[in-house]
Amino acid sequence: MKKFVAILLAALLALSAVSAFAETAAEEPLPIKLGQVVTYLHGHGFAVVTAVVQGETIQLAKIDEFQFMGDREDVAAVGVPVGEETISQTNAETGAVSVLGSKRVNSDLYSLNMQRAGSKVQIAANYDAIEAFVVGKTIEQLEKAVEIEGFADTVTGATLKDTPNYVKGIIAAAKAAHAQYAGTHGGNTGTYTLWNTTGEDIVGIYLTDLDSGWQSVNYASAPLHTLGSENDNNPYIITRTVSEEEIDNHMRIWAETESGKIIEFPGESTHTGLSIETTNIEFMNPDAVTGATQIGWFAPQK
């Protein structure tokens, strides 16, 4: 049965590869993109999964998981460093201390515990085998493959029962990378470089989604001083990341100066709002500007 599943999977991947090659052979190579997700894959912790893609094809992947773990008599748990300390917790009943640690860093410790369940492959070696398996395959190929019964047995060197979940984590990271190709504004992350040329402090800056009603925190809770002032702290840079389906959504951006003046885009008109894009935004003095908006789109020269 395992041999049949392996042959079926190999055929599926080969056919998909031929199709993908035929579609892209005449095109210029796409730039390489990096994606990363924080997600749940297995057990009692969380995972950080990274994928590098070129077009639909995965070039590299990296898996690590983090959970609280305690020392054994023969191996000490290594916690994630926070300055000179680590993140730890104490069991209220036993007083045992455990630290938040990487399974890769603590592969010896974690794998000794895996042996109790019959595993003969260290956790880091399992990660490496899964990462090697996905290289050269497309997102679509992997999405189809993980749904085949017995898929875990086809990943050479990996013995984890949750191997399909680990591959799905890589797929999610690869999709996060691939989403950066979408749209004309650079994917699903917008970067906004804000400049204050109002002549006074800006004490409120907000983004509002025109469709969902979502509103950001106040990005100027620490005032953005005006350009050229003694305390000039321009520019202030913010990002917003949305799902691939939300790339075409538009937002309203508005600011409030120390004297209570409101600067907004769009205003009361039905003009479409700010897109998910990379752009410079200059807040100008409303009293010194004639026109529909007190916002400029080019960073001022210092």
Q: Answer yes or no: do 9 and 42 share one domain.
A: yes
Q: Could you give the number of structural domains in the chain?
A: 2
What's the CATH code of the domain at 288? 2.60.40.2890
Question: Is residue 258 classed as helix, strand or coil in its secondary structure?
Answer: coil
Confidence of residue 184 (pLDDT cuts 50, 70, 90): very low
- In the block, residue with structure tokens 């998910």: 276
Confidence of residue 95 (pLDDT cuts 50, 70, 90): confident
Instruction: Flag whether pLDDT at 36 surpasses 80.
Output: yes
Residue-level pLDDT at 186: 45
Instruction: Flag whether pLDDT at 227 surpasses 80.
Output: yes
Q: Answer yes or no: do 169 and 25 share one domain.
A: yes
Give me the mean pLDDT over the 25-34 stretch: 78
Instruction: Flag whether pLDDT at 246 surpasses 80.
Output: no
Report if residue 156 sits inside a domain: yes
Residue with the larger pLDDT of the pair 53 and 213: 53
Instruction: Flag whether pLDDT at 24 surpasses 50.
Output: no
Q: In Å, how far are 38, 295, 298 from 288, measured between CA atoms?
A: 46, 12, 17
Report if residue 202 sits inside a domain: yes
Question: Is residue 190 classed as helix, strand or coil in its secondary structure?
Answer: strand
β-strand partners of 246: none
Question: Is residue 210 classed as helix, strand or coil in its secondary structure?
Answer: coil
What domain range includes position 219? 189-296
Instruction: Flag whether pLDDT at 261 surpasses 80.
Output: yes
Residue-level pLDDT at 170: 97
Residue-level pLDDT at 79: 96
Residue-level pLDDT at 183: 46
How many helices and strands in the chain, by DSSP H and E? 5, 14
Instruction: Flag whether pLDDT at 5 surpasses 70.
Output: no
Contact criterion met (CB below 8 Å) for 265 and 295: yes
**Strands, DSSP E only, in the chain?**
32-39, 46-54, 57-69, 81-82, 85-86, 88-90, 97-102, 189-197, 202-209, 236-241, 251-257, 262-265, 278-284, 295-296
Residue-level pLDDT at 104: 97
Q: Answer yes or no: do 279 and 138 share one domain.
A: no
Residue-level pLDDT at 74: 86
Closest CA to 283 of 255, 252, 250: 255
Report the alpha-carbon angle 181-173-113, nearest 5: 170
Give me the mean pLDDT over the 60-79 stretch: 94
Report if residue 206 sits inside a domain: yes
Residue-level pLDDT at 34: 93
